[in-house]
Amino acid sequence: MNVLKKVSAVSLVASFTLLTACGGNTANTANTTGKANAAAETTAPASSAPSAPVTIEFWYGLGGKLGENMDKLIQKFNASQKDVIVKGIVQSDYTETEQKLQAAIATGQVPAAVLSSNVDWARKGYFAPMDDLIAQLPDFNKEDFVQTFLTQGQVDGKQFFLPMYGTTQVMYYRKDAFEKNGIEADKLKTWEDLAAAAEKMSVKDGGKTSFYGWEPMWGYENMYDAVLSKGGSVLSEDGKTVTIDSPEWVQTWDSFRKWIHEDKIMRIHSGGQGWEYWYKTIDDVMKGQAAGYTGSSGDQGDLDFGVVAAMEQPGWAGVGEGKPVAQALMAGIPSKASDDQKQAAMKWLAYFTNSENTAFWSIQTGYISVRQSALQDPEFVKFSESNPQIKIPLMQAAHGSAPFQDPTGGKITDALKIAADKVEIQNIPAAQALQEAKKTAQAALDKLK
């Protein structure tokens, strides 16, 4: 899952006010394929000899309800037509998907479509440009896409990736914990406010915390969002200098270190297989072991909103509102796929992102729809009236930041991941961890000159 480009407030509001906020199983693949083949055989006229459908693999790293809903849409697509059969191939997470894709590219045995995007790989020719494929679909209506998301899939003026859904990390909190402690969500405007609330809600016994006031999600992303909200950046404006040791970075990351290790009012779950750490964090909140956590808009399909509610990420005192990343999760078509497979893959991706299906995905998962017309989808309109939490990601995205596009092919991001572990897990002061990360990242950036 990306030089930092701040999305202008005007362009974001223009894009996002047109919609409201919108998270398979391989065991079902054989049945799905069989049903699709059977449907093709029984509906074909006896006098004709239709060509066999093109079977393609679609790789994606989604678990839980997300995986289940992806499988539903794959089955729905396969039943809707007789030209293409999609076989869903599941990986444990986005990282494993990219790792396996790298190996597949090396052997030439690639899937036709993959829920993954990599700008560096697109420039190296590993992904196929989509423009000609899109032009072959008269009903595609490129202008209907949320342009903020669509442009994230463009590389050097060409469309290499199609946004499947949008996401931003929001806050989920237990309504009973807030009520018990007299905390009002709409008054938590700053991280300082949240820390004070977390201190009040935490339960400690003999120096050990049994109930945490908040749980950030493991990794650099949550802390990076908070840095953006404080006015920090990864690179200087000219793109030549890594700036991750600035006061905005050090102050923000050391605040998180202090809350986790010294105050013990927050904690993280780390490690494990795939999304294990993520679901452990959610479980803490749902089982009454923490007051809230910072997670994906796509978590909404896994949450009970009778117990929890959603709110936007805060800003910082004296700085302004939060500016966390609003990112499109995108799919690409490997260039080594055959022409028939590329066309088939484009049909599948266009189907997933049509107005009805992107609205369905949004309703089921909480992710943000990628089409403006989803706002008028009857089911979405009905759902949003009784489920106001689905609007929170949209409201936040309207003043969000675009994801960081790493010019080094991931080396800067990797340095940030290592630094985050030092701060969050090892309790190493942020200044030390970030200075070490800057040295590594700057060396990688200098090699591009």
**Any idea what the CATH number is for the domain that residue 26 is in?**
3.40.190.10
Where does 152-212 have alpha helices with state H?
A: 175-180, 191-201
Question: pLDDT tens digits, residue range 173-232?
Answer: 999 999 999 999 999 999 999 999 999 999 999 889 999 999 999 999 999 999 999 999
Structural domain total, the chain:
2
Do 108 and 227 belong to one domain? no
Do 121 and 217 belong to one domain? no
Where does 306-375 have alpha helices with state H?
A: 339-352, 355-365
pLDDT at 49: 54
Q: Running DSSP on this structure, what letter comes out for residue 28?
A: G
Do 270 and 411 belong to one domain? yes
Is residue 19's pLDDT more than 60? Answer: no
Do 62 and 195 belong to one domain? no
Do 417 and 290 belong to one domain? yes
pTM, full prediction: 0.72
Considering the domain boundaries, does residue 3 fall inside one? no
Is residue 140's pLDDT more than 70? Answer: yes
With contact defined as beta carbons under 8 Å apart, do 376 and 388 qualify? no
Considering the domain boundaries, does residue 2 fall inside one? no
Question: pLDDT tens digits, residue range 346-398?
Answer: 999 999 999 999 999 999 988 989 988 888 899 998 998 989 898 898 788 87
Please give the average per-residue pLDDT across 291-295, as a whole number: 98
The mean pLDDT value of the chain amounts to 89
The percent of the chain in helix, strand and coil, each rounded to the nearest 5, is 50, 15, 35
Structural domain range at position 284: 169-324+403-446
Q: What are phi and psi of 122, to 5 degrees?
A: -65, -40
- Work out the pLDDT band at 47, boundaries 50, 70, 90: very low
Is residue 410's pLDDT more than 70? Answer: yes
- Domain boundary residue, one of 380, 397, 414: 397
Is residue 328's pLDDT more than 80? Answer: yes
